[in-house]
Amino acid sequence: MSAEASPKRPIYLDHQATTPLDPRVLEAMLPWWTDDFGNSASNTHVYGWRAEAAVEEARERIAAVLGAESREIFFTSGATESNNLAILGVAESGRSTGRHIVTVETEHPAVLDPCRSLGNRGWEVTSLPVSSDGLIEPDQLSSCLRKDTVLVSVMAANNEIGVLQPIQTLASISREHGVLFHSDAAQAAGRVEIDVGGDTIDLLSLSGHKLYGPKGIGVLFVRQRRPRVRLTPRQFGGGHEGGLRAGTVPVPLVVGLARALELCVEERERESARLIVLRDRLYRRIRDSIPSVRLNGHPGQRLPGNLNLTFEDVDGAQLLLALNGLAVSSGSACASAKSEPSHVLRAIGLSENQAQASLRFGLGRSTTAEEIERAAEIVIGAVGRVGTPSDP
């Protein structure tokens, strides 16, 4: 089929699931796929030396953006691996001092599942509830910390409802109690300011494909000062990444991640302001036509490009099928194979039917005002075809 005959691609509003690779990131990566193809662990010739230099330069650039030291940046395959390494690694290394871990009900499965695995092996896991706006109260965290608590894990920005948790405050509380603090920042990195340079956050995860970088690469920040965090490795087979994560380092992906993170930070203020205008425009257009629509998550303390809406009295499955020309999600991409309603929406008080009749709109760098107008029309038309919302 010729390019002219190809069907028009739908409007992409699923940037919480993944983001397209920025052409500037691709440009930075290309030489490391072809001419400079060396293994960074090969220390006997120039191919390996150049690759190692590229990896260490990327490590330093990422550290500079996060307020870390380069020795605190460890490369992984993505935030899922980083979360697992942080949670399971701390649990194993600290098992002699305690077997209690604290997290939140609305965390990503990459946090909840390793916690659940620990629970099945003798650890005690406390999952804090959230309020109807998706936030946890700092006092809740203070009241549940114990002498045997070894880790608190709270995501910086929720992947479904976009809520920004007060992680600096929560991390400070954890530090006051002598408990390590980890944050899954896959959604927050590059979108909101993150600084691990203080004495609060001990471990932090991020992923390249959430910030216009390549898939298959992520970072785990592991504090090496005041205190030095010790982790038990989960993957063996070599001395890569200081012995913490065995496996050949993917040089092009590392270079791409560093460039992607830098670009996000350089453009963050302007891009955030632009996305807030577009996001609020989309919400107003839909709300004006469908007054019963419900906004999920805190109205202001959320990611600039996130909008999560519930359409009352509408069949969720039929609504998704009716959204021709629009690429959106009904929840987390990592849980889309499951038939259960979103655990995040259930945690903020939605019924099963309400959770299934919800849509997540993820705006991004390529989103235009024209696409927002068209998206609103598509949603309004689809809701009208599959059901008539009741008045509030």
Catalytic residue positions?
Answer: 334
Q: Is 344:330 a contact under the CB 8 Å cutoff?
A: no
- Helix, strand, coil percent content, the chain, rounded in steps of 5: 40, 15, 45
Query: How far is the CA of 206 from the CAs of 113, 176, 342, 346, 382, in angstroms?
Result: 17, 25, 22, 26, 35
| Structure-token pair, residue 214 | 């390549």
Taking the C-alpha atoms of residue 36 and residue 82, their distance in angstroms, rounded to an integer, is 27
Taking the C-alpha atoms of residue 347 and residue 370, their distance in angstroms, rounded to an integer, is 34
Taking the C-alpha atoms of residue 156 and residue 135, their distance in angstroms, rounded to an integer, is 11
CA torsion 161→162→167→169, rounded to 10°?
Answer: -80
Q: Is 161:306 a contact under the CB 8 Å cutoff?
A: yes
Nearest CA-CA partner of 281 in 163, 368, 151, 173: 368
Q: Is 15:278 a contact under the CB 8 Å cutoff?
A: no
Are β-strands 73-76 and 218-222 bridged in parallel, bridged antiparallel, or unpaired?
Answer: antiparallel
| Structure-token pair, residue 336 | 């889309």
Taking the C-alpha atoms of residue 253 and residue 32, their distance in angstroms, rounded to an integer, is 9
Calculate Rg over the CA atoms of the chain. 22
| Structure-token pair, residue 189 | 């990195």
Taking the C-alpha atoms of residue 204 and residue 198, their distance in angstroms, rounded to an integer, is 13
Q: Is 180:174 a contact under the CB 8 Å cutoff?
A: yes
Exposure letters 115-124 (e unless 16+ CB within 10 A, then b): beebeeeebe
